[in-house]
Amino acid sequence: MAVVGVGVDVVDVERFAATLRRAPSLVDRLFTISEQKVASSEKLAARFAAKEALAKALGAPPGMSWHDAEVVGDPGGRPRIRVTGTVAAVADSLAIRSWHLSLTHDGGLAVAFVVAEG
């Protein structure tokens, strides 16, 4: 397999939380029902960073739906990305077959790093 794309994103957790407080409808627009169940602002910020990093790894094409990229946990709790719909279509066009995701949140920042392999 070869690396097709790499993306990274950093989110200020408090700024992100304040944005969600000002515009609560963003939660429904940005996150799937499953993602909304995470309890903390840090975890939501990290998931948003993951979606932004994924878009960067794909070259930031227009028209992708936020809900078509979902951060889920594998049986061991390690985060991974599930793509469907618009995001899966772009990934298929680039022959991407697997994703690698790393998330962290510390010191008021949430960071996500995504590698797309084909």
Task: Report the pLDDT value the prediction gives residue 93, as an integer from 0 to 100.
Answer: 96
- By DSSP bridging, strand 69-73 and strand 109-117 are unpaired
Paired with 50 in beta bridges are none
Average pLDDT of the chain, as a whole number: 96
| Domain boundaries 3-117, CATH class | alpha beta
Residue 90: what pLDDT?
A: 97
Q: How many CB atoms lie within 10 A of CB 71?
A: 25
Question: Which pLDDT score, from 0 to 100, does residue 49 have?
Answer: 98
Domain boundaries, the chain: 3-117
Spatial neighbors of 80 by CB under 8 A, at least 6 apart, are: 71, 72, 73, 74, 99, 101
Name the nearest CA neighbour of 81 among 63, 61, 62, 66. 66
pTM for this entry: 0.94
pLDDT, one tens digit per residue, over 19-58 is 999 999 999 999 999 999 987 999 999 999 999 999 999 9
**What DSSP string describes 77-116?**
S-EEEEE-HHHHHHHHHTT--EEEEEEEEETTEEEEEEEE
3-state secondary structure of 28: helix
Buried b (16+ CB within 10 A) or exposed e, 75-86: eeeebebebeeb
